[in-house]
Amino acid sequence: MDALSERRKTMKVQLVNYTSDAVDLLLFTKNTRLMDDDDAYDKISQWDEDKKKAELDYMLNTIRSSWEFIDYTFNIREVSRGFTHQFVRTRQASYAQQSQRTVDMFGFSYYVPERIENNPEALEAYDNAMTDIADAYQKLREFVPAEDARGILPTNIHTNIVAKFNLRTLSEMAKSRLSPRAQGEYQQVFKLMVKEVVNVHPWAEPFLTPTQWAAPSMGKSLNP
């Protein structure tokens, strides 16, 4: 594998923590307003699977506040800074991101958009630009600390971020971020996040679906 291939790494998404008793907690918080039992949680946890499924199905289109009690924490690696600039706009979440002030970016890896990857001439120009920036960064670091040299680093440089979301926030994100109209890298990352969630909570898949967008009309003016 050549040096440039080494610098085009594959994104990784790992679910590192989650609410293990999610179903019982969802149903408990949903039914708190309906029950006055000291042992309500224990009673709900003993419901049979059919009753629990019926309750979950009901919650899909009704009570959403309970979804906020269910948390998922992801370790997301080898994604672009351009992606994380969009990612952290989601307010109902917690984030911790790799710092370019304290971590040196010598020989950094970077994200390559699909349209560039599939165009040999564009890819050559892109890789050459990244190499030039890496060389310039290394030269700058001979004279200044990382916090000053980082200003020339590209938007598509790879970074790592830890993020925690509740189920309601993930559900809202899924509506737009799983849509074909979403930015390519964001779609890729979010699909991996959903895969991680569904792997531990198969029942959550219906909560994480995109909005069905109508294809925009082409060639028509926006003005009447």
The residues that are catalytic are: 177
State the chain's maximal CA–CA distance in angstroms.
69
Task: Give me 8's structure tokens.
Answer: 């085009």
Which residues, including other chains, have CB under 8 Å from residue 4's CB and lie 6 or more apart?
Answer: 127, 131
* Torsion (CA) 156, 162, 168, 173 in degrees, nearest 10: 10
Query: What is the identity of the amino acid at 115?
Result: R
Q: How many helices (H) and strands (E) does the chain have?
A: 10, 4
Neighbours of 188 (CB within 10 A): 18
Compute the 3-state secondary structure of the chain and give helix, strand, coil in percent, each to the nearest 5. Answer: 50, 15, 35
Give all strands (DSSP E) within the chain, no chain letters. Answer: 12-18, 71-80, 93-97, 158-166
Q: Nearest Cα to 80, choosing from 130, 121, 25, 31?
A: 130
Rg (C-alpha) for the chain, rounded Å, is 22
